[in-house]
A and B are shown apart, each in its own frame.
Chain A
Amino acid sequence: MALWGCAVLLAGCLYFFENDTGTRIVLACALLFPFLPPLRRFLFIRDQRFPASRPLLPAPSRRLTDEEEPGDVRLWLPGDPLNRIHWKLSAKRDELLVRPSGTPARQDESGPTLSSPAVRLVFPRRFRLILIAAGLFCICCLLLFLLPDARHGFQALCNRLFAASEKTNAYAYDRFPVPAGQAIVPAVLLLAGILLLLLFMLLYSGSRLFALVLAAGCVFLQVYFGLPLPGWCQVVCFTLFALWMARPLSRRGAIWLLLSVLAVSLAVILFLPGVHAGTEEASERVRDALSRAAGRWTASVTEAPEGERETRHVHTLSLAEGDRSAAAEKEYRLVTVDERQISMPRWFDWVKTVFLFLAVAVLPFLPFLPFIWLNAQRRKAAEARNAIRTGDPGTGVQSAFQHVIAWLEAMDAGGGNAPYRDWTEPLSRGISADYAARFRPCAEIFEQAAYSPHPVGEAERSTVIALLDETERILRARADRKQRFRLKYVEFLWI
């Protein structure tokens, strides 16, 4: 989508921004293209990090002093080095001016560079006016379709698309009454121009809403004409659309996006027959509704009389008989009724559609459920750790000591199914005699907190917390890679 947009932008700029009045407008596509094309025209680039407009190219070397007259500068010509540009004067004059050769240029000022991530393509005021004009032109083109000739050409184009749809789908469509031999090329060109303009406006505005509207329009057209794009094309377009909507992308955002695309692709593949059937039926309904609305609003658009409708040869799938190639000549309304009788009930299509929607909505979250649960456990562990140091000392002592035990057992350094006060010997063997000597009093404090009617004080709590900190420090220092993972598991999942 980005490359496509660049090509459109380039074409649009070349077509719309060529100005023969002599104003020098330079096309700068260096930001978008991976290579640096010959600079013929460029646009001023605004850096969002800086409050005022500053040129993308190296900043001016020095201020314009009173000694320097505007006459000492000249217009920029192709081939002039960019560091010779007199930026202050150029901003005043609204045209590029360079200093004469020999004037030293200071290079110590750093401004935005080509690699600045925060730059955005903006246009000077003149070009904004041109874009507004382009938008108005686009609207005028749309209004042109109301003219009979343009409308007939568009209708002829629609008839062509309906014919193509009939070849792939089982439904027959009403045709627009158009004169025979109506040319469709002007309508196609007009539509292509409108589409290009819309894309250019999309790139210019960077608006996600605009992109959403365009995507909705694309979907509507597929439904209306009953011509869904191939599955891979849908996936690519959805990916590009999602990329546009998800700017700027972080690593997590990229993962989300890829999984979303995967989920949608999977759903589309699984439910493709139903999607096709639903699209066909939806197409039929939408087109009928629009025809009725158009008939009410514009009296000139009328359907052909009942008796003048064509009887078409359509192929229907006779599921009941198992004959997949049966051909029958039926009026299309009757065909539709027969299709409904032999196909799955309508509510099943709705069920599939709803399920598809749910799958699209839920599937992207599924891979993240373990992480969501882990984060919840992490928060819970953090709250438990905070509770050790606050609240009732007895509860804090028990909690802190249980943390110690959990750590020791995670590292297989515990004393098994023995009272904690009897863990002196295994701890001496497993860790150190000093640690065992500090462990025993804390075990007695724990027993006092757990089994005694007498409360423990803050001093005891501090002693046990100190043991906990020391335990964590010792075990982390002694842990190998596998044990470090185990300790992390203990820390966030057990405790």
Chain B
Amino acid sequence: MRPKLENVCREIEKVIAGKRPVIEKILLALLADGHVLLDDVPGVGKTSLAAALGRAVGLVSRRVQFTPDVLPSDLTGFSVYDRESGSFRYRPGVLNGTHLLLGDEINRAPSKTQSALLEAMEERQVTVDGTTYPLEQPFFVIATENSVGTAGTQPLPYAQMDRFLLRLTVGYPDYEAQMALLRDRQNRNPIGEVECALSRQDLLAAQQEVRAVTSRDAILDYITRLSMASRSHAAVAVGISPRGALFLDRAAKARAWMEGRDYVVGSDVRDVFMDVCAHRVLLKEPAAVAAVTDVLEDLLKNVETPDHRGLKSFLKK
């Protein structure tokens, strides 16, 4: 992995240890200019992770605790009448000036608020009273969803979950990690020890380089065949959308860049496929999450990789 990214991971691991794969995936989403949905039980370090990430990457990070009474204007801002000037003045919301937004328990927010956030995530701007206010670059949202306890919750609909690049789970730490966690927090908070390892400009340059990574037609063909195979799978009601295919390509590019390459290969697509597409596939019958992973693994197993497809066309010549 790139050295600076390695430093970022090391800094974040000061706060939350033993979760290197999750940290790398979050960085992948950051590089791919996407957003992450963390779906996990409470108390596993989702908020700490986001805060550490903000400090390690030098981003202005804010946290929003979604509750049923959070209004869209709390996020987007609102216009208030200024009696002195006799005009309306825009009061920016949480989203303005924020590079990294941690939205806790997004499933508790009302639908209107969710829509306002998701719109901002998609368009990188907010519109208040007909005036558009662009958001800062980069703009990265880590939304968390508490899967335990559905009282007073508004689960994200499928169409809105589709806007997140990755859906990850943090999971519980293992024994050593939890022991280290308890020792570290005896008399200090390690979040203050996180230093900036990657500046905002470096991050923007890295995002630019990721966008310039080459995806050959063979790779695009592989992504297309995967998405089309998901739509025609026997157990799938709704398959991977074209937006999902775009996000898959973007994530594969970020993955290739993190590996030090400026071109995407088939294994990059396979590595990010589960995380990118797990929340985009709806099964025909209500089933556990494991069933979705089975379907996705079945797709990976049966759809020919671009290497094998190249072999077949080579043998036919």
Interface on A for B, CB 8 Å cutoff? 384, 398-399, 402, 405-406, 417-422, 446-448, 450-454, 494-495
Q: B304's closest neighbor in chain A, by CB?
A: A417
Q: Which residues of A contact B219 (CB under 8 A)?
A: 451
CB-CB under 8 A for A398 and B314, given A418-B305, A452-B214, A452-B261? yes
Residue among A384, A419, A452 with the highest chain B CB neighbour number at 10 A: A419
* Given contact pairs A419-B266, A420-B307, A452-B214, A495 touches B315 in the complex (Cβ within 8 A): yes
Further contacts, 4 of them, CB under 8 A, given A419-B267, A451-B216: A418-B270, A421-B265, A450-B306, A450-B307
Residue of A at shortest CB range from B316? A494
Q: How far is the CA of A450 from the CA of B218 in the complex (A)?
A: 9
Give the CA-CA distance A405 to B266 in the complex, in Å: 16
Contact: A451 with B311, CB < 8 Å? no
Known contacts A419-B307, A494-B315, A495-B315: A451-B302 contact under CB 8 Å:
no
11 A-B contacts (beta carbon < 8 Å): A398-B310, A402-B315, A406-B311, A417-B308, A418-B270, A419-B265, A447-B265, A450-B306, A452-B261, A453-B263, A454-B262
- Tell which of A405, A419, A420, A452 touches B270, judged by Cβ atoms closer than 8 Å: A419
For chain B, residues 166 to 218, give those with C-beta under 8 angstroms from any C-beta of chain A: 214, 216, 218
Bound: A423/B317 CA distance, A: 25
State which residues 206-261 of B face A: CB under 8 Å: 214, 216, 218-219, 261
Q: Tell me whether B101 is interfacial, beta carbon within 8 Å.
A: no
Query: When the two chains form their complex, are residues A405 and B261 in contact, meaning their CB atoms are under 8 A apart?
Result: no
Closest chain B CB from A490 CB (angstroms): 10
CA separation between A197 and B50, bound complex, in Å?
113
Question: B265 to chain A: which residues have CB within 8 Å?
Answer: 419, 421, 447, 451
Q: How far is the CA of A494 from the CA of B314 in the complex (A)?
A: 9
Q: How far is the CB of A416 from chain B (nearest CB, A)?
A: 8
B216 touches A422 (CB 8 A): no
Query: Which of chain B's residues has its CB closest to A493's CB?
Result: B315
A454 contacts across to B, CB distance below 8 A: 262-263
Of B219, B261, B264, B302, most A-chain CB atoms within 10 Å: B261
Closest A residue to B219 by CB, please name it.
A451
A451 touches B214 (CB 8 A): yes
What are the residues of chain A within 8 A of B304 when measuring CB–CB?
Answer: 417
- Contact across chains for B263 and A417 when beta carbons are under 8 A apart: no
Report chain B residues within 8 Å CB of A420.
307
B284, CB-defined interface residue at 8 Å: no
B267 pairs with A450, CB closer than 8 A: no
The answer to whether the Cβ of B301 comes within 8 Å of any Cβ in the partner chain is yes
Question: A419: which B residues are within 8 A, CB to CB?
Answer: 265-267, 270, 305, 307
Q: Are A451 and B301 in contact (CB under 8 A)?
A: no
For B262, the chain A residues whose CB sits under 8 A away are 452-454
A453-B214 CB under 8 A given contacts A402-B311, A402-B314, A406-B315 = yes
Q: From residue 137 to 153 of chain B, which have CB atoms closer than 8 A to chain A?
A: none
Residues of B contacting A451 with CB < 8 Å?
A: 214, 216, 218-219, 263-265, 306
The 10 closest A-B pairs by CB, nearest first: A419-B267, A452-B263, A419-B266, A402-B314, A447-B265, A451-B263, A451-B216, A420-B307, A453-B214, A402-B311
C-alpha gap A417/B301 in the complex (Å): 6
Whether A399 touches B314, Cβ cut-off 8 Å, given contacts A419-B266, A419-B267, A421-B265, is: yes
In the bound complex, what is the Cα–Cα distance between A418 and B265 (angstroms)?
A: 12
Residues of B within 8 A of A417 (CB): 301-305, 308
A455 to nearest B CB, angstroms?
12
In the complex, which residues of chain B have a beta carbon less than 8 angstroms from the beta carbon of A448? 263
CA distance A402 to B312 in the complex (A): 9
How far is the CB of A241 from the nearest CB of chain B, in Å?
46
Given A451-B263, A451-B264, are A405 and B218 neighbors across the interface (CB < 8 Å)? no
Contacts of B315 in A (CB 8 A): 402, 406, 494-495
Inter-subunit contact B314/A450 (CB<8 Å): no
